[in-house]
Amino acid sequence: MQIEVFSLCDAATSGEGKLNMLGAFDTIWVKKMPVVHPQCTVALRVRFYSSEGEKHEVSVKLVDADGKHVVPPTKGTVNISYPGGQRSSSANLILNIQGLKLQKYGEYSIDLSIGGKSMASLPLFVKERK
């Protein structure tokens, strides 16, 4: 499998096999803590190969610098088909996060696992705006 896109953004949609993203970012600037970030989205596009099968367990976690979950981990199953004997096929996954509560400044991590195996990690920096 190959991670083609893994990003934190303002919004994303998927339709007709296309992944559409708006406003990719890795830093949130805030004046005081705690803060609630109203809306953000984890956008993911993964290419699977027919030799890897059709069912894949996917998990996304958002944790703070101490490894504590900021939101409950998201888990699901992706079913992939390979029409016409295609060698590979892709899946677009969108995780919308509403009302993200952040308790402290620092670095957070968005961690992606597929099939129980760690595949990628994104940093999220929360910094004080002076």
Name the H helices within the chain: none
* β-strand pairing of 35-49 with 55-63: unpaired
- The confidence score (pLDDT) of residue 18 equals 97
Q: Which domain holds residue 107?
A: 2-128
Domain count, the chain: 1
The reported pLDDT for the residue numbered 105 is 97
Q: pLDDT tens digits for 100-126? A: 999 999 999 999 999 999 999 999 999
Residues 67-106 have pLDDT tens digits of 999 999 999 999 999 999 899 999 999 999 999 999 999 9
Average pLDDT over residues 40-65: 97
Quick: pLDDT tens for 8-50.
999 999 999 999 999 999 999 999 999 999 999 999 999 999 9
Distance of CA 15 to the CA centre of its chain: 18
Q: pLDDT value at position 130?
A: 86
**Residue 9 per-residue DSSP state:** E
What pLDDT does 100 receive?
A: 96
Q: Please give the order of strands across the beta sheet that includes 27-30.
A: 27-30, 117-128, 106-114, 55-63, 74-79
- Find the CATH number of the domain harbouring 88: 2.60.40.10
